[in-house]
A and B are shown apart, each in its own frame.
Chain A
């Protein structure tokens, strides 16, 4: 609790008191996120290009798609890093989930408090065989999410979580 920490950790979650075995998300998560972003930016570019083309002629199209491409490049860089920032670690009694690039967040969910474990996969996620694990406790509005796991990994995690949750029921 020393206030005068000469060079305190700037990435606190990597400085957990004990060593953690952080598990990354599946590589396809990056693809899914990039694809979704690409589609959205393409739509934006199309919408943007109509007034610009009417106003400036063909040069407007160039501007619109140029801006969109620049924006997409920036977003890709962020997405790649954001996906890398996701991670989960199973400890003896709890599950740690970290995520976020700008706003970092670390959730610690004890197995004994887990009320519900959901697996879900959207259509695009299914194409790339990805599954999202959602974990709920009795705390309101706190859904802990692990997006983008291989289905086998997700199911294994779900089974382990439910088994541990049944073992150590801690209640409200």
Chain B
């Protein structure tokens, strides 16, 4: 709770009683960067869309229908089925209605407050100045009714676990714009933001699109090596077992026993590949006044917005099979701990799922304004030759370098990753040295960034003197970059 002016008539606990909530529709509010600090923009308490309970209990509903019809089919006892359906239906309806009645959100003093819970009241407060990104997601069931979820990412919290669902699509987009404007970031001029009051007219400048053919080819190529390795292992194991058993004169059927998990594994791999293609279908990256917007998805439509100043790291990745085609993926990470994708929690969100080198360089340059990717990769230098035996396969492609504005590190064989972190985003620096490294006069430098651990750039096995010099230089540049930054980000 920041000490923002509260409108009269609201209780001091910061939690409005539910009966106060069905508020009139939102008044025209001034939107613009910096407005939050001048005159707190407020959105009075509002409820989610009335269809929410139906959609929330969608899976339960289907299960109940299936169970009761199965009951009817097996027992030919219509009465039991009907009773089950009615009981479950009433229970679901009442609990859904209750939870809908007690759930609401509002914006007060630069904070988004979400309150929920019937028996145990819960009120979450998201400080908007720490906003890392907003995603408007439309799962298939919500799309049917023109509804959407709003997933909000805040620094230091995995709040995406409980998204605001469901809102009307228009309302969700409008709220997104308002929250982004309230976060005071993105540098949208006031006039422009006001023009965006009717959203979706603002298309932004498209930066990259991914065609269906390349997406499919890229996704399949990426999932090919693990699948092939798994298949080869299983087949090999089955063959060996079979031979051994046959040698002992046992009529073996291990083949068939191994066949089931084998097929199952193949099926899962295929399904995962398929869902990957569906997820990134029609991928479009565009730049809307200082923010990056990603639109993607065939069944579940997603629209993810990341303010440019929030990018803590950019990584360009090449899964091993993509070398054939010279394709790249570009991911960014922000300070929110985890970002939730359709497949669960992923670290970093893709700005380009598959693209050519030129496209990847363009996207990386957009995500980190002021850098050119080839210049960044040119700064990478290998670890000393005496470290080669420690990572024989990756020594050749490993590298670390101090670019003009970024610290860049390259590593990885199955998936070669080049990660670049702007100096201003480096939180702290560590130098470590194990006993073997000491004998070889090597050391490892690690720059830590806010949020995810997996995107920390780690320069493995550098020369010890170089490592210490590198750490000192990183600290010096981080200070210089942070001092030059206007305005300070929090």
Contact = CB atoms under 8 A, between A and B. Distances in A.
Interface string A90-103: 00011000001011
A171 B475 contact: no
Contacts of B466: 1
Given A1-B466, A110-B478, A172 B428 contact: no
Contacts of B456: 139
Contacts of A10: 438, 441, 464
B14 interface: no
A171 B464 contact: no
A119 to B, nearest CB: 20
B52 to A, nearest CB: 33
Contacts of B471: 106, 108
Given A94-B475, A139-B448, A170-B488, A113 B427 contact: yes
B337 interface: yes
A159 interface: no
Interface in A103-160: 103-110, 112-113, 137-142, 144
Given A3-B385, A10-B441, A104 B427 contact: no
Contacts of B465: 5, 8-9, 12, 15
A169 interface: yes
Interface in B378-436: 381, 384-385, 424-425, 427-435
B430 A5 contact: no
Interface size bracket, A side? 35 or more
Nearest to B428: A109
Contact of B441 (A1, A5, A102, A110): A5
A168 B156 CA distance: 20
Nearest to B335: A172
A102 B435 contact: yes
Contacts of A108: 428-431, 471, 475
A124 to B, nearest CB: 29
B438 A110 contact: no
B229 to A, nearest CB: 31
Interface of A is mostly: loop
Given A3-B385, A108-B430, A172-B490, A141 B453 contact: yes
Interface in B446-469: 448-453, 456, 463-469
A110 B468 contact: no
A13 interface: yes
Interface string A1-19: 1010100111111011110
B43 interface: no
A138 B464 contact: no
A138 B475 contact: no
Contacts of B359: none
Contact of A110 (B425, B428, B449): B428
A103 B427 CA distance: 22
Contacts of B434: 102-104
A12 to B, nearest CB: 4
A139 B449 contact: yes
A140 B451 contact: yes
A171 B489 contact: yes
A107 B426 CA distance: 13
B115 interface: no
Contacts of B430: 105-108, 142
Contacts of A113: 427-428
A1 B490 CA distance: 34
Contact of A105 (B425, B431, B463): B431
B488 A169 contact: yes
Nearest to A102: B435
B155 interface: yes
Contacts of A11: 438
Given A8-B464, A172-B312, A172-B490, A138 B427 contact: yes
B472 interface: yes
B306 interface: no
A102 B430 CA distance: 16
A94 B429 CA distance: 10
Nearest to B473: A17
Nearest to A112: B482
A142 B155 CA distance: 16
A1 to B, nearest CB: 5
Interface string B238-256: 0000000000000000000
Nearest to A135: B428
B330 interface: no
Nearest to A93: B479
A140 B337 contact: yes
Contacts of A13: 431, 468
Contacts of A140: 337, 450-453
Contacts of A172: 155, 312, 335, 425, 427, 450-451, 489-490
A93 B428 CA distance: 12
A171 B472 contact: no
Contacts of B449: 139
B316 interface: no
The winner among A1, A12, A141, A142 for most chain B CB atoms within 10 A is A12
B164 to A, nearest CB: 23
B428 to A, nearest CB: 5
A170 B482 contact: yes
A172 B334 CA distance: 9
B443 interface: yes
A149 B424 CA distance: 32
Nearest to B448: A139
A108 B466 CA distance: 16
23 contacts: A1-B469, A3-B384, A9-B465, A10-B438, A10-B464, A12-B467, A94-B475, A100-B432, A104-B438, A105-B430, A105-B431, A106-B432, A107-B428, A107-B429, A112-B482, A113-B428, A139-B448, A139-B449, A144-B428, A170-B424, A171-B488, A172-B335, A172-B490
Interface of A: 1, 3, 5, 8-13, 15-18, 93-94, 100, 102-110, 112-113, 137-142, 144, 169-172
The 3 A-B residue pairs with the shortest CB-CB distance in the complex, in nearest-first order? A139-B448, A138-B450, A12-B464
Given A3-B463, A172-B155, 5 more contacts: A1-B469, A137-B428, A142-B428, A169-B490, A172-B490
